Amino acid sequence: MTLPELTDPDTPTPHPARGQRWLRPMRPRLTDERHRVATPLELLFDLCFVVAVAQASTKLHHALSEGHLATGSVAYLAVFFSVWWAWMNFTWFASAYDVDDVPYRVATFVQIVGVLILAAGVPRAFDHDFAVVTLGYAVMRCGLVAQWLRAARGSTEPPARRTAHGYALGIAVCMIGWGALLLVPGHWRAAGFAVMVVAELAVPIIAERPRRTAWHAHHIAERYGLFTIIVLGESILSATIAVQSAFDEHRAGGALFAVAAGGLLIVFALWWLYFARSAHGFLVSNRVSFVWGYGHFFVFAAAAALGAGLAANTDRVTHHGELGAYAAGAAVTVPVAVYLLALTVLQLRPQHAGPVRTGLAPAAAVAVLATTGFAAVSAALTVLATGAVLAVLIAATEALGWDPAPRPAGKA
């Protein structure tokens, strides 16, 4: 996932001929291709992932409302990893090899089927039954392995062929490992899961050694931005459903409206902070692809968990949930703090934003965590205070300006 050297940006770049749908040679797309944006097929693929993200967020909400903070959070992170990792693998492959012919579309359809099977298995996964999730994951990986083998066959240079074969082999071996994990005794599964996560993360690092994959910086930045919008949208959906239930049962009150207003302010602020500056520029000029790509797990997982936290706080103010006051506050403040810290590492530091601008987000994260204590008074107060901290952060960063400081000479 490391960006190769770009060609002359003034040189026109060909787009795949739209008249030849049945079969095209699967060769890398140009890294400086103009007007490269997400395709309708990629948007459909993301739409199917909305289902899986919604299932994970909903089950986390139920676990929180029942007072199962620790077990629910662990199950959520395990399920969300499989969702995020499958999405990310497809996204980076498509950025490099999307030829948009019939075999490519069929292989993508196979992965979509796998996504929906995985989504159907999310409720079982929260009850420690990962069989359906593993099945869906296997279907997705079969489609991706077929794509990498096709990319290997279409490669004209041996290093690129070795990279494609490395991906196909690594993905297949990991899939066998996930299947074997279902047979492991329950008390060993947590350790086995950790081993498999490390193995999955290592596959791209090892596979990229012979030849770096030719992905498109603007396309990748847009794809990650779209998925950020999806997970933030799930936060709004989760909170809206909880508020709707409260209205249906005639439990609406001032605290409920405060949670709804504060939650909307938080989501809007998180959107503002993420899209304050495009990541495309530093993805082109910096070798940060692995850190940036992998680190977004914390952005996505935190954003989706926020929705569950807002819904759990809605339950609390309407006297439905069993979650304690401080745990309910932490269900909102911890995801927001994680999101801010992840943005600091992934968006601010690579842009050399300067010590003041870079330090504002971590300081805001600390302030957000401090608002957890307000939950002893009211869950609504914690949500409103968190939104207020984010509003101050945005005001401060906008006042300072978003233009990054000049990059020191000689540094990538």
Tokens 């709707």 belong to 244
Work out the end-to-end distance of the chain between its first and last CA atoms, rounded to an integer number of angstroms.
17
Q: What is the pLDDT of residue 247?
A: 72
Q: What is the pLDDT of residue 405?
A: 43
Q: Say whether pLDDT at 4 is over 50.
A: no
Cα–Cα distance between 220 and 4 in angstroms, integer?
14
Q: What is the pLDDT of residue 407?
A: 45
Q: What is the pLDDT of residue 384?
A: 93
The average pLDDT across 48-75 equals 89
Query: Which residues lie below 8 Å from residue 245, measured CB to CB, with a gap of 6+?
Result: none
Closest CA to 341 of 369, 307, 321, 381: 369
Closest CA to 123 of 214, 54, 199, 204: 54
3-state secondary structure of 198: helix
For residues 408 and 261, the model is more confident at 261
Cα–Cα distance between 184 and 182 in angstroms, integer?
6
The average pLDDT across 231-235 equals 87
Neighbours of 393 (CB within 10 A): 21
Are the beta carbons of 237 and 54 closer than 8 angstroms? yes
Structure tokens at 325: 């006051």
Structure tokens at 208: 């990229």
Cα–Cα distance between 141 and 135 in angstroms, integer?
10
pLDDT band at 66; cut points 50, 70, 90: confident
H, E, C per residue of 204-238: HHHHCCCCCCCCCHHHHHHHHHHHHHHHHHHHHHH
pLDDT band at 8; cut points 50, 70, 90: very low
Structure tokens at 189: 């599964």
Question: In terms of C-beta distances under 8 Å and separation of at least 24 residues, what long-range contacts does 398-406 make, across chains too?
Answer: 400/356, 400/357, 400/360, 402/276, 402/277, 402/353, 402/357, 404/277, 404/351, 404/352, 404/353, 404/354, 405/352, 405/353, 405/354, 406/352
pLDDT for 270-294, tens place per residue? 999 999 877 766 676 546 678 888 9
**What's the pTM?**
0.86
Q: What is the pLDDT of residue 85?
A: 94
Mean pLDDT computed over every residue of the chain: 84
Q: Say whether pLDDT at 235 is over 90.
A: no
pLDDT cut 90: percent of the chain above it: 47
Q: Say whether pLDDT at 246 is over 70.
A: no
pLDDT cut 70: percent of the chain above it: 87
Tokens 């590492």 belong to 345
Q: What is the pLDDT of residue 112?
A: 94
Q: Say whether pLDDT at 242 is over 90.
A: no
CATH of the structural domain 217-400, one choice from 1.20.1410, 1.10.10, 1.10.260, 1.10.3470: 1.20.1410
The average pLDDT across 312-325 equals 80
Cα–Cα distance between 11 and 142 in angstroms, integer?
37
pLDDT for 185-227, tens place per residue? 877 888 999 999 999 999 999 998 887 888 888 899 899 999 9
Cα–Cα distance between 178 and 192 in angstroms, integer?
9
Helices within 250-378 (DSSP H only) = 254-274, 280-285, 289-317, 325-343, 355-370
Are the beta carbons of 122 and 52 closer than 8 angstroms? yes
Cα–Cα distance between 308 and 304 in angstroms, integer?
7
Cα 169 from chain centroid? 25
Q: What is the pLDDT of residue 371?
A: 94
Give start-end residues of each CATH 1.20.1410 domain in the chain: 217-400
pLDDT band at 351; cut points 50, 70, 90: low
Strands (E), 121-209: none
pLDDT for 90-133, tens place per residue? 999 999 898 888 999 999 999 999 999 999 999 898 888 899 99
